[in-house]
Structure 1
C-alpha cells in the first residue's frame, strides 16, 4: 500500500518519492494518520477503509478550494484514491509549532468568509462532518437549508440511534425562524468543523485543516469555535473588528452548535444526547 501511495505522490508532484520511514500520528478519532518520509520530503497521509474514498475526495476538493482563495493557510492536497484495501489522502506536510497569532487567525478567517457563492447555500457535492454524511444540496434560503440539511438531518439520525426529547420536532423547527428576523446571511465559504483541534500554527502563521466545507452563514464557524472551550478573547475581538458580527449571533450560536452536539451523539453516543436535549430546551424557551 505504501509503495502505491508513494508512486501516486511521485506522479502528482512530478518528483520521485520513496517511503524510507513511516511515523504514526495520533489525534484523530475517524481516520489513521501517518507521516511518510524520504530523504528530502515529508507528506501527511490519512487512511481509512477503501469504501471511504469519496470522503477523502470531497476533503481534497474542499482543501483545494480553500487553498485557492489564498486567504488563510491550508495544507495543500497532493493526491487521493485507493491503495490496497485502504482509501487515502496525501497532503502537504506542515510543521506545527512556535508562537500562536490569534489576531492573524481572526483576520485571515474573516477574509475567507468574504468568499461567497452565487449559487446560494450548500456546496457542489456531499461531504462529511466527522464520518457523518453532510448534505449540501444548493438552496436559496438559509433557514430552509439549515432546517432540512443540518438540524433536521441530524435529528433523524439521532432518533434512529435512540435519541429522545420531550420537545416535539415541530416546536423545535418553529423556534428557528424568529432567530433570523432582520438578519439575512450571505453564503460565505465556511470551514464547517472549526474547533480547536482543527486549528494550528506554524511559526505564528495560522493553519486550518480537516474541513467540512460548504457555503453558509459565517456565524457557524464562529459558533463552533466556542463549543469546546473557546478560543482566546483576542480572536473574537479581532474578528469582530475585521468583519463585524450581527447582534443576534449570541442567540443563533446555540442553534448552530446544536448541529455539532447532535452529530457527536450520532458518532459517539454517551452524554451528548443529554447535552442535545438541554440545548433544544434552551432554544425553545
Structure 2
C-alpha cells in the first residue's frame, strides 16, 4: 500500500481529502491504485524504477497527443511526478464495461478518425518513448521503410542477439530488410498511432465511450495498429467493418500483417523470453529467408 506521506502528497495534488486507497490488479509494469475522494475516483500508477518518471512523462505526452486530435477519448491527466523515490501518474478513473457491438463500431470509427489526423509529414515523433519497459526510438524519417527497419526492427533484433535470444545468423542484413520492406509496404502517409494497441490497452466506459490507455505513440503506417489488434485478439468484426468504412483496408494488408506483428513479437521475446522465439523465428524466415 501507499505510505501515509505519499497519500498526503497525492491529496495535495488533487487538492481534496482522500477517503481510501485500494490496490488494483492487472498491472504488469507498475503498481496501480484506485483513490477515492468524497465525490470522485482516481487512478494512480506508482513505480520506483530508475526509468519510471521518464516512462510516465512520455505516457502523459502520448495521451495528450491523442487527446489533441479530438477523435477518441483518453483519461484526463491530473498529475505526474516523483515523491520519496516513487514516480506516479495520476488520472481520472474510467469505470469500464464489457463492450457491445455498437461500442466496438464506435471504437472502429474513432480509431480511423485518429489515424486520419494530419499531425506531421514525417514518420516518428517529437520524443522517444517506451514499448512496455523497453526504450522506443522515434527519430524522424521521410521514408517509412527506413523508419520501420532502423527504429523498430533493428533495435529489437540487436537486443535479442545481445541477450542470446536470437543468433547472429538469424538476423537479416539491412539490405535484405530494405528489399523486402520496400516490396511489401504501400505508399503511406504518417498516421498517429497508439503504438501498442492490444486488447488490454483500450476501455469502453459505462456510457459506451471508447478510451485509449497506455500508448506508445508515434506517426507511422496505420496498418501497424491494426496488425497489433489482430495479434492477441479482443477486437470484433464490427470494429474492423466500422474502421474500413472510413479507411478502406488495403487489399494486401493480410500479406503485411506478419511483418508488422514481428516488431511486437520481438518486444515480447525481449521482455518475456524464449516462449516467443518460435513465432519470431517463423516470421523472420517467412519474410526475410533467402529466396
Aligned position for 2:151: 149
Structure 2 counterparts to residues 1-285 of structure 1, below 5 A: 1-10=6-15, 17-49=16-48, 51=50, 52-97=52-97, 99-100=99-100, 101-164=103-166, 166-170=169-173, 171-180=176-185, 183-203=186-206, 204-284=208-288
C-alpha distance in structure 2 between counterparts of 1:98 and 1:71, whole Å: 21
CA RMSD of aligned residues (A): 1.5
Is the 8 Å Cα contact of residues 190 and 218 (structure 1) preserved in structure 2? yes
**Structure 1 runs of 4+ with >6 Å offset:** none
**TM-score normalized by the length of structure 2:** 0.91
- Residues 130-169 of structure 1: CA distance to partner in whole angstroms, max 9, x if unpaired? 0100101111111100000001111111111112255442
SS at match of 1:175: helix
C-alpha distance in structure 2 between counterparts of 1:168 and 1:264, whole Å: 17
Is the 8 Å Cα contact of residues 97 and 201 (structure 1) preserved in structure 2? yes
Give how far 1:6 is off.
2.2
Is the 8 Å Cα contact of residues 201 and 214 (structure 2) preserved in structure 1? yes
SS at match of 1:226: helix
Unaligned runs of 5+ in 2: 1-5
- Residues 10-58 of structure 1: CA distance to partner in whole angstroms, max 9, x if unpaired? 2xxxxxx222211111112111110111111211110111521011001
Give how far 1:280 is off.
1.1
Is the 8 Å Cα contact of residues 104 and 206 (structure 1) preserved in structure 2? yes
Aligned position for 2:3: none
Is the 8 Å Cα contact of residues 172 and 280 (structure 1) preserved in structure 2? no
**TM-score normalized by the length of structure 1:** 0.92
C-alpha distance in structure 1 between counterparts of 2:209 and 2:121, whole Å: 32
- How many residue pairs match? The answer is 277
C-alpha distance in structure 1 between counterparts of 2:234 and 2:92, whole Å: 27
C-alpha distance in structure 2 between counterparts of 1:6 and 1:141, whole Å: 47
- Residues 66-89 of structure 1: CA distance to partner in whole angstroms, max 9, x if unpaired? 112221111121110101111010
SS at match of 1:194: coil
Larger CA deviation: 147-156 vs 163-172: 163-172
Is the 8 Å Cα contact of residues 136 and 214 (structure 1) preserved in structure 2? yes
Give how far 1:254 is off.
0.6
Unaligned runs of 5+ in 1: 11-16
Is the 8 Å Cα contact of residues 172 and 288 (structure 2) preserved in structure 1? no
